[in-house]
Amino acid sequence: MKPPLFHKGVHPLKAKAWVLGIEKLFEVFPCLETQKVQLATFTLEDEARRWWMLVRDDNKGIDWAQFLALFYEKYFLQCVHDRKVSEFEGLKQDNMIVAEYETKFTELARFAPHMVDTDYKKARKFENGLRNDILERVDVLKLPTYVDVLD
């Protein structure tokens, strides 16, 4: 198994993708919060490695959440995050097929977990973004779960 590498913050979404890849490893290799930081920083390369070398002495013994705060502050600007949240808030199916809409929905939902933190909220958010012709058919069914609405 090869851990994802992170070189630099050319594109903020690459930073987010790197974090998701590292957290996927944590699912297979459970470790303490401080060990997560060690594993993650081991995969930093080039400019990102130099950044960590500069800040690590002031951040010895930090846990994963604290590391993420530092990392996102450096590589995932709040304005980019806010833009993705806004994009999710306004997401509509429009001319996409349902599968494309679902892919976009899933991609953007990770930026606004508070909007989809229950199955009910996720189902309603997805449903409300559907095109009117599809929404009319789905709405009358009063489907309780996200999977039901998606089906």
Instruction: For residue range 39-68, list pLDDT tens digits in order.
Output: 999 999 999 999 999 999 999 999 999 999
Q: How far apart are CA 139 and CA 127, in angstroms?
A: 8
Residues 64-121 pLDDT 10s: 999 998 998 898 888 888 999 999 999 999 999 999 999 999 999 988 999 999 999 9
Q: Which residue has the higher pLDDT, 8 or 65?
A: 65
Lookup: tokens for 101: 């809409």
d(CA 101, CA 150): 10
For residue 131, the SS3 value is: coil
Q: What are the b/e assignments for 101-134, b being 16+ CB within 10 Å? A: bbebbeebbebbeebbeeeeebbbbbbebbeeee
The pLDDT value recorded for residue 77 is: 82
